[in-house]
Amino acid sequence: MSVAAGPGGPDESRKLSAADRAYLKSIPERVENELATIAAAIDDDKVFIVNGVDHVVHHWQCRFVAHQLDRGSVWNNHVPVALATGYLAAGVPDEWLSPPMPTMMSLDEVRALPRRHACGHCAPKLDAPQRRAAERPSLYS
């Protein structure tokens, strides 16, 4: 695929720089790496996705976070924005222009958040069962 200079709008007349082309070429591998990272997180019991300053917690299979895990679509939406900035051609490290990955946490990590809200749709059970005092970890052991 080539993007030729032409009589179209500003997008069509803009030539891709070498940095832009290298960036585009790298995207399939980035998507694969991100999907592998997500799969490894799930394997590592990081099955919750935490969003926003209010720490809304979803199970990774919740439909309200599916768009964050669909890395192909995330990148498809991101690439035109990244190219339009011109930052790549200006030499900004292209990692800076990657779309954010979902924040994935284990149940223990979620419980350690100062505040959190369970998604009303997938409603993950986040509260620790009540433990007797003798079962609580000691600070001194």
> Can you tell me whether residue 118 is helix, strand or coil?
strand
Residue in 38, 41, 49, 62 binding Zn ion, rule: CB under 5 A? 62
> Can you tell me whether residue 11 is helix, strand or coil?
helix
Query: Dihedrals φ, ψ of 79, to 5°?
Result: -55, -45
Residue in 38, 58, 104, 105 binding Zn ion, rule: CB under 5 A? 58
Q: Which helix (H) or strand (E) holds 111?
A: helix 107-111
Closest distance between Zn ion and the C-beta of residue 120, in Å?
8
| Nearest CB to Zn ion, comparing residues 3 and 119 | 119
Interacting residues with Zn ion between 100 and 119 (CB under 5 A): 119
Residue 107 near residue 48 (C-beta atoms within 8 A): yes
Q: Does 55 bind Zn ion (CB under 5 A)?
A: no
Residue 130 per-residue DSSP state: P
In this chain, which stretch among 52-60, 87-95, 108-116, 125-133 interacts with Zn ion, using CB under 5 A? Answer: 52-60
Q: Does 126 bind Zn ion (CB under 5 A)?
A: no
Q: Does 64 bind Zn ion (CB under 5 A)?
A: yes
Closest distance between Zn ion and the C-beta of residue 117, in Å?
10
| Nearest CB to Zn ion, comparing residues 27 and 122 | 122
Structure tokens that stand for 132 in this block = 């007797």
State the Cα–Cα distance between residues 50 and 120, nearest whole angstrom: 13
| Nearest CB to Zn ion, comparing residues 46 and 83 | 46
State the Cα–Cα distance between residues 133 and 135, nearest whole angstrom: 5
Q: Which residues contact Zn ion (rule: CB under 5 A)?
A: 58, 62, 64, 119, 121-122
